[in-house]
Amino acid sequence: MFLKTSCYSRGIFKMNEQMKAGNFIKVIIFLLFVFIAVISVPFALNFKSLLPFSGGLHGHFADRPIDDFILISAEGKEISLQSHKGKFRLVFFGFTRCTTACPAALQTFMKLDRILKDDKSVLDPLYYFITVDPAFDQVHHLHDFFRNFPSHYIGLTGTTEQILNVQNVFQIPVAMNPDHHTTALFVIDPENVLSIVYHDIPDAVRIKDDITKIKISLANSSNHRLEDICIGR
């Protein structure tokens, strides 16, 4: 009888230990999920520019102030974000010897110019063409390349350190070979805020639609900037 009772007690004890172990594992799993959720929030906020915009825009809505930078134009002048504050700027990274993405981007900009002119639009964006090959694209090369372009096409170069800094500002990968440069297009609004990111050069009509919506939103009220764009006003 004593033996049976002892075995029964040991069985109950073992079951209790198993239940405690099971509950402990559940608690650990729960805490792990909480930890993952907490660390995911800032990650998601930092990379919100990579998420598809929910409505109204063709590109990815960034709405991120960016650090100022200084580069040298094809005329040998220092250019910073403050130089053209108050205007939209379309920023593209390329190089003058490029035979694929860069000519296509410039053709898109020229098409956008024609559309804006035909529509008698008040939009007058500037185009920043930032070289990723500063060793070759020095001021005199940029000057020769852009001499037949309108004045709002602004070629920019600088030292290797300056170009790397700008690439870091726009959070783009640095390619060792210029041919492998990013084809992303960035839109800076008149308040020096990075408004839109296109991972590839879009159609000119889409660019026009997007910057028009940003302009309307800014004109309405800066306090309702995000709300107005989200609902596609």
Give residue-wise pLDDT tens across range 21-30.
Answer: 556 566 566 5
- Pick from 189, 125, 183, 127: nearest CA to 154: 127
Q: How far apart (Å, rounded) are the C-alpha atoms in residues 230 and 233?
A: 8
Exposed / middle / buried, residue 134 (Cβ in 10 Å: 0-12, 13-18, 19+):
buried
Give residue-wise pLDDT tens across range 121-156.
Answer: 888 999 999 999 999 999 999 999 999 999 999 999
Confidence band, pLDDT 50/70/90 cuts, at residue 231: very low
Give the DSSP H or E segment for 147: none
CA distances, 204 to each of 38, 39, 86 (Å)? 40, 39, 21
Give residue-wise pLDDT tens across range 180-228.
Answer: 889 999 999 999 999 999 998 999 999 999 999 999 888 885 544 444 4
pLDDT at 40: 44
The residues, any chain, with a CB within 8 Å of residue 81's CB and separated by 6 or more, are 66, 68, 69, 188, 192
Q: Residue 85 carries which DSSP code?
A: T
The whole-model pTM stands at 0.71
Residue 133 — φ and ψ, nearest 5°? -130, 65
